Amino acid sequence: MIASAAASTAPAATLQASTPAEPPIRDLPSPNWDARPDAAPVDMLILHYTGMQSAQAALDRLRDPAARVSSHYVVDEDGAVWRLVAEQRRAWHAGVSHWRGHATLNDRSVGIEIVNPGHEWGYRPFPALQMAAVCDLCLAILGRHPIPARNVVGHSDVAPDRKQDPGELFDWSGLAASGVGLWPGPTAELGLVGDVPGALRAIGYDDGDPAATLRAFQRHWLPDAVTGHADAATQARLHAVLAAMA
């Protein structure tokens, strides 16, 4: 448990801070990385949950050469932050993935694994301390790379057929209130979106299983109703997100 040189014992900045200090970060290098392609900009931030029974199990796996997976950061439930891979390197967290016409998103993204057992092992709310650390870390990353709000997404957004993380308990709304990602307010006057597949595509989703893609959208932007159905509330929300991304 070695703090970085820049570590401070001060509590994490509040969620409202506009220029928060980067949270104390512990380096715990993983061998699972390679070079980013030369021309790839870093313009995406992809958030995950670990989906394992403990933080230690996740850290072990993300540093196991045989597993061939990693992330740039891991944030524990108590707000502790580990750096496994330097941001200028390519970490291996997204797998087969698509967003806004791009694929192999590891090339262009920073990945954060957020400790939570996930849907398989007992999905539970993300504690406030953990979310505050995630928020500060995201703000620091956004200060280093030109990542637009519409490119701050979950693993399920970029791999809807395979992934559910970070899931419907994740506080995207709170993050957006602090300047991380996109969360449109109520925009009832916009009405329903007509072309649901077209709206999903315009937001950034790849063409895939329609219900899985709708569930991914709902996990992110309509977390109280993850149904996979394009009901009126979902169509209105699609319209609101689309308008906010314009």
Q: How far is the CB of 50 from Zn ion (least distance, A)?
A: 8
Catalytic residue among 22, 77, 87, 113: 113
The total of other beta-carbon atoms located within 10 Å of residue 3's CB is: 13
Q: How far is the CB of 154 from Zn ion (least distance, A)?
A: 8
Among this protein's residues, is 113 annotated catalytic? Answer: yes
Residue 102 forms beta bridges with which residues?
99
Q: How far is the CB of 242 from Zn ion (least distance, A)?
A: 25
Identify the helix (H) or strand (E) that includes residue 244: helix 232-245
| Cβ contact 120:58 at 8 Å | no
Nearer to Zn ion, 20 or 111 (CB): 111
Burial profile 30-59: b = 16 or more Cβ within 10 angstroms, e = fewer: bebbeebeeebebbbbbbbbbbbeebeebb
Rounded CA gap, 242 and 158, in Å? Answer: 17
How many degrees, rounded to 5, is the angle at CA 178 between CA 143 and CA 111? 55
Q: How far is the CB of 127 from Zn ion (least distance, A)?
A: 19
Nearer to Zn ion, 72 or 239 (CB): 72
Which stretches of the chain bind Zn ion, using CB under 5 A? Answer: 48, 155, 165
Q: How far is the CB of 100 from Zn ion (least distance, A)?
A: 18
Identify the helix (H) or strand (E) that includes residue 214: helix 210-221
Query: Residue 31 carries which DSSP code?
Result: S
Token output for 15: 């969620």
| Cβ contact 174:166 at 8 Å | no
Q: What is the dihedral of CA 55, 20, 18, 239, to 10 degrees?
A: -20
| Cβ contact 185:241 at 8 Å | no
- Catalytic residue positions, numbered: 113
